Amino acid sequence: MMEKMIFGRYVPADSIIHKMDPRSKLMIIFLFVCIIFLANNVVTYALIGIYTFFMLGLSKVPVRFLYGGLKPVLWLVLFTLVLQLFFTKEGALLFEWGPVKIYEEGVRMGIFISLRFFFLILMTSLLTLTTTPIEITDGLETLLHPLKKVRFPVHEMALMMSISLRFIPTLMQETDKIMKAQIARGVEFASGPFKERIKAVIPLLIPLFVSSFKRAEELAIAMEARGYRGGEGRTKYRQLSWQRADSFQIGLLILLTILLYLLRS
């Protein structure tokens, strides 16, 4: 059941998106998250949709895989839709059935907000699917470097991030293993009454905590043994290189921003 998770997972492929500089990808995502709020009518949402699917196409990530992994999130999207549908009380009344009243604005908002949610999820998953965790942290560290001036611990943060990203698969494997061990001891994770299922999480979480703490300690010792002394004077093995595709992608997004700005109502 952990197999289908796609968050934080890297799918290797030979695509333009995979080859891009992580700095430009991070900048694009950051900007994208901002400009998605510019969209407020059909044309602008369509533009964002086209852009998202264009990027998806470029990335060569298999759609079936993406769909499988995003399925659980789609429920969340659907939930937002329903929430908006029932609780927005503006515009003309479209439908009434007992206490349930659905207004025109509710439908509009519901569709727009869930679409916005959906595109956001799609783009951010695209980032992690096409960029190795180490690239992301390298990119982030360089991008945030100026913050060092105000004593922000950029290197430490990047290190923390790369360590946690690095251990996601390990933790998943561990979860899978302990889950199986407890299932073999008669725990039922997937069926039974809700209360029982909540209780079933304890035999899973405690071993996971214990092993995570142990692993953290071991890692700290191993790092110290290899002479780790923080980020001071540390050089990088992987050099980031900005290419034409990066400039092009940034340009494309700026174009989208301008278009959105002009076409929004």
Partner 1 sequence: MDISLQHVEYRYQANTPFESLAIEDVSIEIPTGIYMAIIGHTGSGKSTVLQHLNALLQPSKGTVKIGEHEIKGGQKNKNLKKVRQRVGIVFQFPEHQLFEETVEKDIIFGPLNFGVSEIEAKKRARIALKQVGLGEEILEKSPFDLSGGQMRRVAIAGVLAMEPDVLVLDEPTAGLDPRGRKEVMDMFYALHKDRNLSTILVTHSMEDAARYADQIVIMQQGKVVKKGTPEEIFSAPTELVQMGLDVPEVVRFQLKLEEKMGMKLEKIHLTIDELSSAVTDQLSRGVRS
Residues between 33 and 92 with contacts to partner 1, criterion CB under 8 A: 62, 64-65, 68
Tokens of 198: 């909540």
Q: Which residue pairs, CB below 8 angstroms and at least 24 apart, start in 79-87?
A: 80/110, 80/113, 80/114, 80/117, 81/110, 81/111, 81/113, 81/114, 82/110, 83/110, 84/109, 84/110, 84/113, 84/114, 85/110
Question: How many whole angstroms separate alpha carbon 190 and alpha carbon 246?
Answer: 45
Does position 187 interact with partner 1 (CB under 8 A)? The reply is yes
Q: Do 188 and 200 touch, CB atoms closer than 8 A?
A: yes
DSSP-derived secondary structure letter, 107: H
Residue 171 is a binding residue for partner 1 (CB under 8 A)? no
Binder of partner 1 out of 188, 217, 218, 224 (CB under 8 A): 188
- CA pair distance 208, 230, nearest whole angstrom: 28
| Binding range to partner 1, per CB under 8 A, among 116-124, 152-160, 205-213, 222-230 | 205-213
Q: Which is nearer to partner 1, 89 or 177 (CB)?
A: 177
Binds partner 1 (CB under 8 A): choice among 153, 169, 203, 231: 203
Q: Is 210 in the site for partner 1 (CB under 8 A)?
A: yes
Nearer of residues 56 and 115 to partner 1, judged by Cβ: 56
Q: Give the binding site for partner 1 (CB under 8 A).
A: 3-4, 11, 62, 64-65, 68, 174, 177-178, 180-188, 202-203, 206-207, 210-211
